[in-house]
Structure 1
Amino acid sequence: MRVLTRLAAVTAATVTALSVAVATPASAATELVVNGTFGTGTAPWWSSSNTSMAVDTGRLRVNVAGGTANPWDAMVAQNNITLTSGKAYTLSFDAVASASVSAVTTVQLADSPYTNTLTRTIALTTTSKRFSFPFTSSLSTAAGQVSFQLGKNAAHTVHLDNVSLTEATTPGSGPIGMTSGFYVDPNSNPAVWARNNAGDSRAARVQSSIASKPMARWFGSWSGDITASVSSFVGAADSADKLPILVAYNIPGRDACGGHSGGGAGSEAAYKTWISAFASGIGDRPAVVVIEPDSLGDFDCMSETARQERIRMLTYATEQFRGKAANAWAYLDAGNAGWTAPATMASRLRSVGVANVRGFSVNVSNYYTTGQSSTYGDAINSALGGTAKFVIDTSRNGNGSNGEWCNPSGRRLGATTQVGGGAEMLLWVKVPGDSDGNCGIAPNVPAGTFSPDLAIRLIDGT
């Protein structure tokens, strides 16, 4: 059960649906912040020592003393915020400062241990700016808090206005609602091949049936400077007002069961540095991220020591995306319908911090039908208490599974990337035409290498 392959299928009728869905804007949601416009004074907002606050021309003016050691040594906040674990929220506000300063905004428990479900460092300047941070809560509490931590700076003044915290209630929320559709990667493997082989009789078919569709870009050790590489890809999508799909694939000892895509970072410390830099490369821009395909399914092929190391690494990864990529929806990979029992997979997901991210992905690089994958995802989510979302890889599931996972014959393209379809999203995570390894109908094509023959077979279902 390697990563660059999985088993999925969708009916031929579904395959013809194939248009990218653009979600509608989110409907009005209940406001959880009281008096975020400061139209009735400052209550129920409160300020700590080293600050004073007052309403000034319809905004909250916060005077901040200098000389403090930590951001939280000077803050304003509102308590009694109700949060539900697994639900999506958006914190937004306007802010401007009398000088360029760094601040921290959080959504957290109001009392010890002050657990954060959102922490964002923000750069305030003398020009007013609107900030917006979608996130998925890891907390269920009626004692939440929205805070602005303004210490560890020279004395300055901050003005806040239009502070809002709302629950996302429709598929048009989060990064989907922030963009006008999914990003088509002009430099995907099939796109590059079609461009460089225009005289090949297969090129036009590869371009029209595969390269012109939205699909994921995979990142690993081959990506070089990971922050720069991720930032460039996400930035190109952002400039086009489109939503990019990324795969983080650099966990040490990856593909422990399949063996064709081995490798990854050289150590736990190296991986933590890499995945932190990955999340930083996304920053505040919208994105969809699949985290480490096969990493939880592979548990059955790993020693207990290796499993515990992987749990630490994946937990760290979820924390990095939660803290550094506020507008990204990240999904931990959960294998496929023919691999790990739903209750077992749910336990593994819980152990690596699935509550820190949007949810999980199923069927990555495999062939199980969308219906089978949806049933599997629903069962996992039920075991998790119904708090997570999931996405399905439909890139090669048009004819379903024949029981083989490594470059099997007779498979077909599935429904193109879109919102919905029995899951939160149907995605082309595996790049159609990329080999699963030196196996099956491509015994001489290494894993991750594009093969026009594999691509044409997927188009024709042969």
Structure 2
Amino acid sequence: MADDARDDASATRHRRDDSRYVVRTGTAGGAGGTGPSDVPGDVPGEHAARPDDPAAGAAAGSTEPPRTGPSARIGAPTRAADTGPSIRRGPRRTPDVREASTPRPNRAWWTTTLIILLAAALLIPIGVWLASSIEPEQGGALYGGRDLFVDPGSSPAVAADAAVDTDERHAAEVISARPMAVWLTPEEFPPGTVGDEVRDIVAQATDAAAVPSFVIYGMPGRDCQGQSAGGLATQAEYVRWVEEITAGLSGRQAIIVLEPDSLALGPSCGDTARRTELISAAVGSLQNSTASVYLDGGHSNWLAPREMADLLEAAGVAHARGFATNVSNMRTTDSELTYAHRVADELGGGAHAVVDVSRNGDGPAVDAEWCNPPGIALGEDPQKGPIDDVVDALLWIKTPGESDGECNGGPPAGEWWAEGAIELVENAGR
């Protein structure tokens, strides 16, 4: 993560215990957390880089034109040929008078009709059963009407099983009992393995009649060489990796948060055009799934709503469900709801949002510290909405208890940090 403006969220998931879970093919490793920070002096619409930020002084905005993803193909309708009995004329009775005979039943026609009626009587119940078993489309009930998925293999769940200290176990158990997003990074799930990881999580969620949440976090040049630097080596490799994730979704419902900080960091990193192009390509791939996709929307104390909306438009938000705000940050829920509505208004309406409330229970740190700040607390429990006409859900996108980076006594970004988890839980009075 760039040190200039944000908070790091978890980009690393720990090895799963293969004796507990059915299919786990991901390899352990990698760094990565994310979440734009609150920098002293930041005000809405301004993004002040810290003095040690190598990206300070870079471009402050984007003039990239909006991009559009692939259009849907509409199949041409077909028409069945009309059939029916023929009419035969009777014999001529006089040279001047012709009389049409009564039509004779066509045995073949009646036989065909009877077969069709019998087939319909048998197939209609089968069709109704199939329709009820098919995953509902995104246009139906939000997330298919399903509850949010609690991942039994999350890092706090693993920590709870391994903890010896009572306080550590309690904190890990409190956190692991809530639904949280599964972070997909190429460091932990490289090409060739990420599809299986997604398929496994989706299968578990389906068995639990729940909808899983994923964070895709692997674009090249991720985090401007900050605490969560990394990602795939090339743009082509990144696009193929996202395609593998899309295939792993298997047509099931899912929530996707796509590349936190990728767009909001563009102006300060100086590579806005490359980032919007990559996000647009990822959105195009994910359009082939039934997932609800949310692009990086920064947070309420970072970019101005109009500037954020311009970046979202250039990245193809029109072909996604909407955007995510406050990922890994601690801005209050009220401020983020207001911000989400302002960005949606700038987009012309129709876009939806999700808000990360994982660590905003006491709001941001007093000194606007973003990296493992002391004094913060767990936020309210995740809840699927709709919360209002714009915000779909309040989620735990960042995994509470995972470090933001090697700062304020924490381990590398994405690693479980028991001391930090205990403070989050205690400050929330849980």
Give the TM-score taking structure 1 as reference length: 0.64
Q: Following superposition of structure 1 onto structure 2, how do residues 9-408 of structure 1 map, counting pairs within 5 Å?
A: 47-48=77-78, 52=80, 57=116, 129-130=130-131, 131=134, 134-135=137-138, 168=140, 173-177=141-145, 179=146, 181-197=147-163, 199-221=164-186, 222-224=188-190, 225-256=193-224, 259-303=226-270, 306-323=271-288, 325-326=289-290, 328-402=291-365, 403-408=368-373
Instruction: Please say which structure displays the higher CA radius of gyration.
Output: 2
Secondary structure of the residue that 2:287 maps to in structure 1? helix
Distance across 2 between alignment mates of 1:274 and 1:194: 31
Secondary structure of the residue that 1:375 maps to in structure 2? helix
Q: Following superposition of structure 1 onto structure 2, how do residues 413-452 of structure 1 map, counting pairs within 5 Å?
A: 413-420=378-385, 421=387, 423-442=391-410, 445-452=411-418
- Tell me if the contact between 1:2 and 1:261 (Cα under 8 Å) persists in the aligned partners: no
Deviation at 1:232, TM superposition (A): 0.7
Distance across 1 between alignment mates of 2:118 and 2:259: 44
Q: 2:427 is matched with which residue?
A: 461
- Tell me if the contact between 2:157 and 2:173 (Cα under 8 Å) persists in the aligned partners: no
Secondary structure of the residue that 1:414 maps to in structure 2? coil
- Tell me if the contact between 1:433 and 1:455 (Cα under 8 Å) persists in the aligned partners: yes
Alpha-carbon spacing, 1:128–1:375, altered in 2? closer, same or farther (3 Å): closer
Deviation at 1:364, TM superposition (A): 0.2
Deviation at 1:129, TM superposition (A): 4.0
Alpha-carbon spacing, 1:322–1:270, altered in 2? closer, same or farther (3 Å): same
Alpha-carbon spacing, 1:202–1:344, altered in 2? closer, same or farther (3 Å): same
Q: Which amino acid aligns with 1:343?
A: R
Distance across 1 between alignment mates of 2:82 and 2:416: 62
More relative contact order, 1 or 2 (CA 8 Å, 6+ apart): 2
Q: Which amino acid aligns with 2:338?
A: T
Q: Which amino acid aligns with 2:217?
A: Y
Greater strand proportion:
1
Secondary structure of the residue that 1:297 maps to in structure 2? coil
Secondary structure of the residue that 1:187 maps to in structure 2? coil
Secondary structure of the residue that 1:380 maps to in structure 2? helix
- Tell me if the contact between 1:395 and 1:414 (Cα under 8 Å) persists in the aligned partners: yes
Q: Which amino acid aligns with 1:453?
A: E
Deviations 1:425-446, CA, capped at 9 Å, x for gaps: 000000000011111342xx00
Once superposed, what is the RMSD of the aligned Cα atoms? 2.8
Q: Which amino acid aligns with 2:237?
A: A
Q: 2:47 is matched with which residue?
A: none
Alpha-carbon spacing, 1:54–1:190, altered in 2? closer, same or farther (3 Å): farther
Give the TM-score taking structure 2 as reference length: 0.69
Deviations 1:44-88, CA, capped at 9 Å, x for gaps: x9745xx74679847999xxxxxxxxxxxxxxxxxxxxxxxxxxx
Deviation at 1:376, TM superposition (A): 0.9
Distance across 2 between alignment mates of 1:228 and 1:242: 19
- Tell me if the contact between 1:393 and 1:430 (Cα under 8 Å) persists in the aligned partners: yes
Alpha-carbon spacing, 1:362–1:47, altered in 2? closer, same or farther (3 Å): closer
Unaligned runs of 5+ in 2: 1-5, 10-34, 39-74, 84-112
Distance across 2 between alignment mates of 1:395 and 1:348: 25
- Tell me if the contact between 1:218 and 1:246 (Cα under 8 Å) persists in the aligned partners: yes
Distance across 2 between alignment mates of 1:263 and 1:274: 15
Distance across 2 between alignment mates of 1:436 and 1:251: 19
Alpha-carbon spacing, 1:240–1:264, altered in 2? closer, same or farther (3 Å): same
Deviation at 1:132, TM superposition (A): 5.0
Q: Which stretches of structure 1, 4 residues or longer, exceed 6 Å deviation after superposition?
A: 58-61, 93-96
- Tell me if the contact between 2:159 and 2:169 (Cα under 8 Å) persists in the aligned partners: no
- Tell me if the contact between 1:335 and 1:363 (Cα under 8 Å) persists in the aligned partners: yes
- Tell me if the contact between 1:393 and 1:426 (Cα under 8 Å) persists in the aligned partners: yes
Q: Which amino acid aligns with 1:448?
A: G
Deviation at 1:355, TM superposition (A): 1.2
- Tell me if the contact between 2:222 and 2:228 (Cα under 8 Å) persists in the aligned partners: yes
Q: Which amino acid aligns with 1:253?
A: G
Deviation at 1:176, TM superposition (A): 4.2
The alignment status of 1:410 with 2:375, answered yes or no, reads yes
Q: Which amino acid aligns with 2:321?
A: R
Secondary structure of the residue that 1:361 maps to in structure 2? strand
Report the count of equivalent residues.
318
Alpha-carbon spacing, 1:60–1:390, altered in 2? closer, same or farther (3 Å): farther
Distance across 1 between alignment mates of 2:263 and 2:380: 26
